[in-house]
């Protein structure tokens, strides 16, 4: 048996060290799982506490952790020194960069064809609409978190404002979707600015906490302002979108009748699909465009170094506010779409979990990368559906997949940054240099 290396600079590689680390991991697992898995408590018939022990399961879990940590450690030593980039062989990386060039157009063409390919599969169309909604939300939040580097944990608030704006304007005044859509965006942006004014002097963790609170405040106001919002009962009977005034229903002046084709419920789904696709692409186009304008460069500069921005005469407050308002506006658009798709909205749809999910999409995708965010939304929403057959283990498998992706690519799926302007050749900037922002 080889003695473990005593050098502190070099990680120990001997078999003793291997067993030692596996043993420590197993011990931690034992402590953690002994209460969570080892003892099961339930309320009995008369409300008394009953419990029983499950030492068999506990033992197998600890054994899995022990074996698993040995396998992972061996795997790590086999691949080479730890370090995020080294885990990916160069051949794979070259293939990825080749893929990267054609991935975005290929994905776009595929997306455009989805309703044609899966015309008869309602489930896939619904899932695609859901994925696109999150792509749009991710792209909207990407402006705030990815470009301006402001950690916003309350993004769902703007989604809610957009949804309720359309829901209430449509049900109370009978306004059409196409009038309400810009209004929803403007109102959400207005709330973004309103939130922005007091909180943008905060940075980092403090900003995150206040935005988190703002998200909750909006939800609580919606629950409690019963006269206006219907409280927990929500708003129902929200009109479906029309094809520029022509309803998509079975009536005589519906679109199907006008075109002289047989009515099918799928028409509306396909219409909704292209609607959200158009909205998402608008978000993408505006964001890409803004990045190349002075305001977008100022957002990124703000993420890199706020003090230097001020020294260059950039008004950091208004710059942050515009980022907040732009992100909020896209959230509002997505919210209006959500309301018209569901036909019913209630505060339950706008919990913190939604904010966390959208933020996870942005972080997983690689902050600032449009393609990365789209891929992450596909992976998060689509992947979550993919594991549906695993039932109770869905969250577990999903969580593990996320952890593995973050080990593999700690700066997100697409971590590098593309410059917005160049003299001779645009070179991708390594993610090591790009800052995450601090406020």
Partner 1 sequence: MSGDQILGVDRLTMRFGGIVAVQDLSFAAERKKITALIGPNGAGKTTVFNCITGFYKPSGGTIRLSHDDGRVIALERLNDFRIAKQAKVARTFQNIRLFPGMTALENLMVAQHNALMRASGFTLLGLVGAPVYRDAEKRAIDLATDWLRRVNLLDRADDAAGNLAYGDQRRLEIARAMCTEPALLCLDEPAAGLNARESAALSELLLSIRNELGTSILLIEHDMSVVMEISDHIVVMDHGVKIAQGSPREVRDDPKVIAAYLGTDEDEAAAVMEGGS
- Residue 420 interacts with partner 1 (CB under 8 A)? yes
Helices (H), 142-265: 156-173, 177-199, 205-224, 226-229, 255-259
Write the DSSP symbol of residue 424.
Answer: S
- Residue 304 interacts with partner 1 (CB under 8 A)? yes
Q: Which is nearer to partner 1, 58 or 302 (CB)?
A: 302
382 contacts: CB under 8 Å, gap ≥ 6: 127, 131
Q: Which is nearer to partner 1, 52 or 422 (CB)?
A: 422
Instruction: Give the tokens for residue 183.
Output: 């209004």
Measured torsion, CA atoms of residues 184, 190, 193, 198, in degrees rounded to the nearest 10: -120
Q: Which is nearer to partner 1, 255 or 314 (CB)?
A: 314
From 43-51, 93-101, 177-185, 286-294, span contacting partner 1 (CB under 8 A): 286-294
Cβ contacts of 242-245, under 8 Å, gap ≥ 24: 242/176, 242/177, 243/271, 244/178, 245/176
- Residue 44 interacts with partner 1 (CB under 8 A)? no
Question: 244, 178 in Cβ contact below 8 A?
Answer: yes
From 139-147, 369-377, 401-409, 417-425, span contacting partner 1 (CB under 8 A): 417-425
Q: Which is nearer to partner 1, 165 or 322 (CB)?
A: 322
Q: In Å, what is the CA distance from 83 to each residue of 22, 181, 376? A: 21, 47, 23
Angle at 52 between CA 47 and CA 56, to 5 degrees: 155
Q: Which is nearer to partner 1, 23 or 285 (CB)?
A: 285
What is the closest distance, in whole angstroms, from the C-beta atom of residue 108 to partner 1 in the complex? Answer: 21
Measured torsion, CA atoms of residues 207, 213, 217, 223, in degrees rounded to the nearest 10: 140
Helices (H), 174-204: 177-199
Instruction: Give the tokens for residue 20.
Output: 């030692």
From 123-131, 237-245, 258-266, 413-421, span contacting partner 1 (CB under 8 A): 413-421
- Residue 430 interacts with partner 1 (CB under 8 A)? yes
Question: 303, 155 in Cβ contact below 8 A?
Answer: no
- Residue 435 interacts with partner 1 (CB under 8 A)? yes
50 contacts: CB under 8 Å, gap ≥ 6: 41, 42, 43, 44
Which residue of 288, 295, 397, 401 would you call a contact of partner 1, by CB under 8 A? 295
- Residue 309 interacts with partner 1 (CB under 8 A)? yes
Site for partner 1 in 111-170 (CB under 8 A): none
Which residue of 249, 298, 410, 413 would you call a contact of partner 1, by CB under 8 A? 298
Q: Which is nearer to partner 1, 109 or 311 (CB)?
A: 311
From 116-124, 228-236, 258-266, 422-430, span contacting partner 1 (CB under 8 A): 422-430
Instruction: Give the tokens for residue 261.
Output: 């084709």
From 103-111, 165-173, 275-283, 288-296, span contacting partner 1 (CB under 8 A): 288-296
For residue 82, give the 3-state DSSP assignment: coil
Which residue of 14, 67, 198, 294 would you call a contact of partner 1, by CB under 8 A? 294
Question: 271, 399 in Cβ contact below 8 A?
Answer: no
Which residue of 70, 135, 301, 413 would you call a contact of partner 1, by CB under 8 A? 301
**Partner residues linked to 53 by β-bridges:** 39
What is the closest distance, in whole angstroms, from the C-beta atom of residue 337 to partner 1 in the complex? Answer: 22
Chain residues that interact with partner 1, rule: CB under 8 A: 286, 289-290, 293-295, 297-298, 300-301, 303-305, 307-316, 322, 417, 419-427, 429-430, 433-435
């Amino acid at each position: 048996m080889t003695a473990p290396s005593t050098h502190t600079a070099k990680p120990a590689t001997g078999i003793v060290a291997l067993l030692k680390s596996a043993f420590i991991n197993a011990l931690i697992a034992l402590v953690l799982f002994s209460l969570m898995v080892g003892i099961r408590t339930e309320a009995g018939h008369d409300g008394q506490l009953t419990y029983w022990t499950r030492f068999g399961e506990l033992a197998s879990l600890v054994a899995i952790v022990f074996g698993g940590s040995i396998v992972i450690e061996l795997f790590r030593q086999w691949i080479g020194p730890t370090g995020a980039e080294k885990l990916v062989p160069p051949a794979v990386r070259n293939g990825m960069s080749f893929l990267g060039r054609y991935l975005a157009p290929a994905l776009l063409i595929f997306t455009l064809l989805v309703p044609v390919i899966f015309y008869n599969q309602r489930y896939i169309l619904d899932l695609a609409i859901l994925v696109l909604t999150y792509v749009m939300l991710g792209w909207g939040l990407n402006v705030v978190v990815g470009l301006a580097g402001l950690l916003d944990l309350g993004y769902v608030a703007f989604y809610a404002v957009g949804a309720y704006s359309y829901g209430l304007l449509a049900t109370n005044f009978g306004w059409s979707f196409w009038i309400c859509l810009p209004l929803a965006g403007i109102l959400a942006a207005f709330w973004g600015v309103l939130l922005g004014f007091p909180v943008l002097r905060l940075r980092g963790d403090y900003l995150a906490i206040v935005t988190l609170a703002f998200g909750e405040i909006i939800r609580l106001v919606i629950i409690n302002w019963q006269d206006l919002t219907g409280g927990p009962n929500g708003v129902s009977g929200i009109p479906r979108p029309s094809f520029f005034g022509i309803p998509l229903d079975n009536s005589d002046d519906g679109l199907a009748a006008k075109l002289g084709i047989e009515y099918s419920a799928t028409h509306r789904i396909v219409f909704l699909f292209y609607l959200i696709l158009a909205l998402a692409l608008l978000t993408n186009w505006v964001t890409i465009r803004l990045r190349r304008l002075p305001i977008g460069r100022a957002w990124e500069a703000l993420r890199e170094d706020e003090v230097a921005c001020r020294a260059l005469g950039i008004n950091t407050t208004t710059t942050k506010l515009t980022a907040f308002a732009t992100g909020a506006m896209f959230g509002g658009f997505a919210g209006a779409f959500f309301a018209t798709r569901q036909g019913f909205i209630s505060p339950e749809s706008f919990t913190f979990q939604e904010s966390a999910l959208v933020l996870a999409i942005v972080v997983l995708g690689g902050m600032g990368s449009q393609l990365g965010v789209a891929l992450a939304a596909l992976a998060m929403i689509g992947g979550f559906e993919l594991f549906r057959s695993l039932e109770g283990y869905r969250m577990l498998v999903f969580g593990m997949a996320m952890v593995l992706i973050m080990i593999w690519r700690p700066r997100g799926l697409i971590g590098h940054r593309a410059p917005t302007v160049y003299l001779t050749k645009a070179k991708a900037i390594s993610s090591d240099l790009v800052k995450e922002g601090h406020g």
